[in-house]
Amino acid sequence: MVAPLLIPILTTLASKGLDLIGSAILAKGKDVVEKELGVSIEDELSTPEGTEQLKNLQMQHEEKLLELSLEDKKLDQNYFKLEVDDAASARTREIAIATNEEAGWLNRNLVPIMALTVILGGGVMLVYTQETDLRMAVVGMMTMVLGYYFGKSSSEWRKDSTISRLTDKV
């Protein structure tokens, strides 16, 4: 989640064509960008002259601002790769157990039984509870189980990565 104090600043930056500064703030934080530019962004946005100054600074520091934004994207890619590798190793393990003739019935079926229990139990909880927080937790848990068995779409990976990045900034 973006810190509530940043929302007006980011909105103003976007409306004035200062998207690169806004992206760098989202990636690295307002303090880092202000230090790099040598100005107080809020003070500069308060006047037309200051806004022009920010536009000039954005052009002068374009390479560094892009670098700040791209560093965060590289971290997202590394996170994505770790998640994909983790899911792949878990699925490989499941396949190895399911196809191993020496593995007992319980070994081959324990994880699927637990997953089915979570999905069915979650469905029952959704029917009988009206508490929003609990319902959201149950849906999240069910989504994780289904994601394990059926995979995630690339938009889900991007969403997870964005949520993780934004919650780290707060």
How far apart are alpha carbons 44 and 52 in whole angstroms? 9
Residue partners of 119: CB distance under 8 A and separation at least 6: 142, 145, 146
Give the percent of the chain with pLDDT over 70.
83
How far apart are alpha carbons 98 and 82 in whole angstroms? 24
How far apart are alpha carbons 112 and 119 in whole angstroms? 11
Where b means 16+ CB within 10 Å and e means fewer, 65-98 reads beebbeebeeebeeeeeeeeeeeeeeeeeeeeee
How far apart are alpha carbons 167 and 88 in whole angstroms? 26
CB 66 within 8 A of CB 28: no
pLDDT for 123-166, tens place per residue?
999 999 999 999 999 999 998 888 877 766 656 666 666 666 66
pLDDT of residue 123: 94
pLDDT for 11-47, tens place per residue?
888 899 888 888 888 888 889 889 989 999 989 988 9
pLDDT for 69-98, tens place per residue?
777 666 667 777 777 777 778 878 888 888
10 Å Cβ neighbour count for 45? Answer: 20
- In sequence order, which ranges of 100-153 are alpha helices (DSSP H)? 105-128, 132-150
How far apart are alpha carbons 140 and 136 in whole angstroms? 6
- pTM here? 0.45
